[in-house]
Amino acid sequence: MGLRSHLRIGLAVLLVALLAAVPVLAAEVQTGQSIRSTEGVVTAAHPLAAQAGAEILAKGGNAVDAAIATAYALAVVEPYASNLGGEGYMVISLTDGTETAIDYRSRAPLHVHVHKPAEIGWPPHGIYTTMVPGMVKGTEKALLQYGTMTLAEVLEPAIRLAEGGFEVTPLLAQQIANAYDSFLMTYPEAGRVFLDDGLVPEAGTIMRNPDLARALRLIAEHGSDVFYHGEIAEAIEQATDGWIDRESLAAYEAIERDVVRGSYRGYEIISAPPIVAGVRVIETLNILENFDLSAYGSINHPMVAHIIAEALKLSGADYNAYVWDPNFFRVPVEGLVSKQYARQRAALISLERAQDFSAGDPFALLPEIDGLSAADPYESPSTTHISVLDKDGNAVSLTQTISSFWGSRIVVPGYGFILSNHFRQFPGFDASDPYRPDYAAPLKSTRTVLSPTIMKKDGRVRLVVGTPGAGRIPQSTVQTIVSLIDFGMDVESAIRAPKLHVSGLTLDLEGGFPDEAVAALEALGHDVRLREPLDLYFGGLNVVMVEDDGTMVGVGSFRRSGGASAPVSEEAAVVH
């Protein structure tokens, strides 16, 4: 039996004990892997984080309040995937008609320039991989503009978890084990916070982080000023030897942006705009709309997999070529999400063979814009996702990250949080191309594939979806949407359905595809690589869907230690 199988069994066994170990809640909620409710649902990569968000809903908060509470709770119970020193993107849909996105991506310090990566080398983590974090500023901005509670109220569950402690899951224990040598030898502050007297904590033991609780209390009392201007800013500067200096922290601002919009088979799509990958999700679905996928009968049919893979290659080529930091470049969003452009791209797909594709020309639809050259994006292997829908129909899809698992591994002393290692996603300087659009620059963000998405029909939210998983993020998101809409699958089945990931002619298939489908895909020219069933490689989808009668169904990830939670009511019911 493989490690992932042991982890899945261990997570199932520990789920009840894990939930029982949380300190007494301030409001009554129900939590499980799947849940049905009419009172609002939160899904997240850890059941205690989903429970924190549901507690906020039960106390009268809206979806924005709950999403932020969940995000901070994840910084406590899932510290290897997101943290106060990281970043994220949030898509918001409110019943008053508001549809907006909050960009709180991390940004390069003010002093960097295109030569800097070559000067410092290419470390996988450490001081020179850190960037100015955006989580605290971005969540505060969303709360002040669209929430109903105070920062102190939404931070309370995370503070309680950090102080009172929580049970270490098998997944957390494994991630600590993976980083053990570096925590012990190179990053002693991380070792002090996350090791148990110098050892990897066993699953089921209680982990506390009083330093993080202190940081959260300071933020609850003073807001983001203490993080970007006050004592925490000073500590970040000291922890990074001045690489992230106080001037850079003071200059950081989260940005509210227009969502990107599309449609798919009668459903409206709103997703996150560049520099992240909502445009890729929409372009892929636009291409797929030119094919009658449902006629093949199953999401596992080899021709469905082939068409999806080819559509993803096309949108990936365009994304790599044209999506950059919008603070520095004009991105041809209108062209990339155009149905007309998608028809042109769909016409390139052969039903008889797999192909490689180059970027198209969305600028042809926007003649006043100059094009940009293509480049391959770095794929970060970490991240986490939250989906929230409240009883009134307000929705939040939120994805956040510290890049690699454990980020830079720099823990800010006395405050217990990790800084991201996003700076390593900038390319090394190439003198032959001194104007690449992905070079480092002051307050510039790296490109990433976060794809938080909301879908609506007849003006009402029907789906809140997203996932971690590096380059698999938009790919798994698209496949889940196709499973739900084209094949009418229920949420749990759509999440469990085996996923694929395509890169060039290489096609990774998750365990569960029939042998004859694998053979057919190989015959089409795909270089197939087989992976385990429910493989963490394909992300950790956390989804909320609304059934025709208005019942909300939330499902936490089966590939990660996910959970769903809802306020207790007569209608709420834990499925399992």
Q: Indicate the average pLDDT of the chain.
A: 89
Between strands 99-104 and 255-257, the pairing is antiparallel
**What pLDDT, on a 0 to 100 scale, did the predictor assign at position 467?**
86
For the stretch 124-177, pLDDT in tens is 899 999 999 999 999 999 999 999 999 999 999 999 999 999 999 999 999 999
Same structural domain for residues 405 and 339? Answer: no
The confidence band for 26, taking pLDDT boundaries of 50, 70 and 90, is low
The confidence band for 374, taking pLDDT boundaries of 50, 70 and 90, is very low
For the stretch 232-281, pLDDT in tens is 999 999 999 999 999 999 999 999 999 999 999 999 999 999 999 899 99
Same structural domain for residues 108 and 251? Answer: yes
Same structural domain for residues 9 and 130? Answer: yes
Instruction: Decide: 401 and 386 in contact? Cβ < 8 Å.
Output: no
Same structural domain for residues 190 and 339? Answer: no
For the stretch 64-102, pLDDT in tens is 999 999 999 999 999 999 999 999 999 999 999 999 999
Same structural domain for residues 202 and 288? Answer: no
Same structural domain for residues 124 and 223? Answer: yes
* Whole-Å CA distances, 277 to 324, 359, 373, 377: 10, 16, 18, 12
The verdict on whether 383 is a catalytic residue reads yes
Same structural domain for residues 247 and 284? Answer: no
Same structural domain for residues 394 and 513? Answer: no
Output the domain CATH number for residue 363: 1.10.246.130
Specify if 354 maps to a domain.
Answer: yes
Q: What does the DSSP 8-state code read for residue 380?
A: P
Which tokens belong to 522? 């190989």
The confidence band for 216, taking pLDDT boundaries of 50, 70 and 90, is very high
Domain that holds residue 187: 3-256+381-498+535-574
For the stretch 515-537, pLDDT in tens is 999 999 999 999 999 999 988 88
Output the domain CATH number for residue 159: 3.60.20.40
Specify if 261 maps to a domain.
Answer: no
pLDDT at 363 over 80: no
For the stretch 446-467, pLDDT in tens is 988 888 999 999 999 999 999 8
Same structural domain for residues 134 and 198? Answer: yes
Same structural domain for residues 46 and 137? Answer: yes
pLDDT at 8 over 60: no
Q: Which residues face 553 on adjacent strands?
A: 36, 545
Specify if 265 maps to a domain.
Answer: no
pTM of the model: 0.90
User: To the nearest whole percent, how much of the chain has pLDDT over 90?
Assistant: 76
**What pLDDT, on a 0 to 100 scale, did the predictor assign at position 471?**
77
Which SS3 state, helix, strand or coil, does residue 279 take? helix
Euclidean distance between CA atoms 228 and 339, whole angstroms = 42
For the stretch 462-488, pLDDT in tens is 999 998 777 788 889 999 999 999 999
Same structural domain for residues 539 and 562? Answer: yes
Same structural domain for residues 16 and 77? Answer: yes
How many domains, the chain?
Answer: 2
**What pLDDT, on a 0 to 100 scale, did the predictor assign at position 118?**
61
Specify if 262 maps to a domain.
Answer: no
- DSSP string over 199-239: BPPPTTSEE--HHHHHHHHHHHHHTTHHHHTSHHHHHHHHH
Specify if 175 maps to a domain.
Answer: yes
Closest alpha carbon to 312 in 270, 275, 272, 342: 342
* Whole-Å CA distances, 359 to 186, 316, 338, 355, 474: 42, 8, 15, 13, 17
The confidence band for 574, taking pLDDT boundaries of 50, 70 and 90, is low
**Annotated active-site residue in 43, 70, 383, 477:** 383
Specify if 342 maps to a domain.
Answer: yes
